[in-house]
Amino acid sequence: MQRIAVLTSGGDAPGMNAALRSVVRAADAAGVEVLGVRDGYRGLHRGWMEPIDARAVSGILHIGGTILGTARSHTFRSIEGRQDALKMMHEHGVEGLIVIGGDGSLKGADLLAQEGDVPVVGVPGTIDNDLTGSDFTIGFDTAVNTALEAVDRIRDTASSHHRLFFIEVMGRQAGWIATYVGIAGGATAALVPEQGVDLDALRDRVRDSFDMGKRFCLVVVAEGQPGGARAVAEEIFPADSDVELDHRVTSLGHMQRGGSPSMRDRVLGARLGDAAVQALLDDCNRIMVGEVRLELNHCPLTTAWSQESHPPSHLLGLLDRLAR
Ligand code: ATP
């Protein structure tokens, strides 16, 4: 294999640059040239790719987002768009492709590999941690830590005012971020799409906590919860409610995506970028590299994107037992 291409796709995730750097340097060590594709699949089907060498990825480990750029490409969802992408890869002499992204990106990668003759290897890069085949995805750890920083600040103001805060966090249809932020942030509850919510019980718990002298209450709500944090707050305390409980709703939003990657995301990115190059050199195709119980893992791409991963119920049980 003489030349491969690499792209980042879907939502940006801190640690994608560490993975990119690792791909480029591992390939360089093996004597393989790397083309960096601009803006994900949009750049792939338009042929926006150019050589990226070991020096070009110097000093990017600590930078959030992705220096290659990313995009949501509608065209690539069609077979014609993917055929254009294949044509571009042939024109540029690309013999293997590494896709760093989330479930949508890996589904696209799977179809591309199925329909064409260029082997494709996926790397799990998403803050949502919702893929099968890797205990953690690149970006999850940083996103949780960033959200936690915000939660700690909100706790300061909540306890000063004896307030209840409903805090919405990202994570799409998976409750991973909400669960980890809930446990590490000392929330009263984490509401996640994986579990039903007993709103009456939650209202009672919040009231009891304040009655017993608690100065603040934080309820973390996953964005996948129907209606998000605002709907939950309105259901618990409707406008005509006679309950006098000072509460606020806040959504942490896109600040959770940015920022310098944590040690864990840098190391995971480094390890999986290197593993992806090795997988292509070993003639692997249609797989995602991951880390399971600290061991490198290969998982069929189809399994990785189609079997959504969810937080184990024992973690939610833990949060529940510790909340007072
Ligand atoms: P995140 O989980 O962070 O949102 P993602 O990879 O799931 O990242 P998506 O926007 O779902 O982000 O997908 C990224 C790109 O992958 C899309 O813009 C599209 O080009 C391609 N893609 C997604 N789904 C499909 C599909 N079903 N078929 C072909 N390509 C797809």
Over residues 191-213, the pLDDT tens digits come to 999 988 888 899 888 888 888 88
Pairing assessment for the beta strands 33-37 and 49-51 based on DSSP bridges: antiparallel
Side-chain half-sphere of 100: how many Cα atoms within 13 Å?
Answer: 42
* Phi then psi dihedrals of residue 267, to 5 deg: -70, -40
Whether the pLDDT of residue 242 is over 80: the answer is: no
Task: Provide the pLDDT for residue 243.
Answer: 60
Per-residue pLDDT tens over the stretch 107-133? 999 999 999 999 999 999 999 999 999
Whether the pLDDT of residue 53 is over 90: the answer is: yes
Q: Residue 293: how many CB atoms within 10 A of its CB?
A: 6
> Strand ranges (DSSP E) for 9-43?
33-37
Task: Provide the pLDDT for residue 240.
Answer: 65
The lowest-confidence range among 42-56, 163-177, 223-237 is 223-237
Task: Provide the pLDDT for residue 316.
Answer: 87
- Among protein residues, the one whose CA lies closest to atom 12 of ligand 1: 10
Question: 102: Cβ below 6 Å to ligand 1?
Answer: yes
Q: Residue 91: how many CB atoms within 10 A of its CB?
A: 10
Longest distance between any two alpha carbons in the chain, whole Å: 71
Q: In angstroms, how far is the first alpha carbon of the chain from the final one?
A: 58
pTM reported for the whole predicted model: 0.96
Per-residue pLDDT tens over the stretch 257-284? 999 999 999 999 999 999 999 999 999 9
* Phi then psi dihedrals of residue 284, to 5 deg: -75, 150
Task: Provide the pLDDT for residue 237.
Answer: 80
Take residue 160 and report the two structure tokens written for it: 């000063």
Take residue 200 and report the two structure tokens written for it: 């009456």
- pLDDT above 70 as % of the chain: 98
Question: 223: Cβ below 6 Å to ligand 1?
Answer: no
Task: Provide the pLDDT for residue 292.
Answer: 98
Question: 302: Cβ below 6 Å to ligand 1?
Answer: no
Mutate to test the pocket of ligand 1, among 7, 8, 9, 134 (most ligand atoms within 8 A of CB): 9
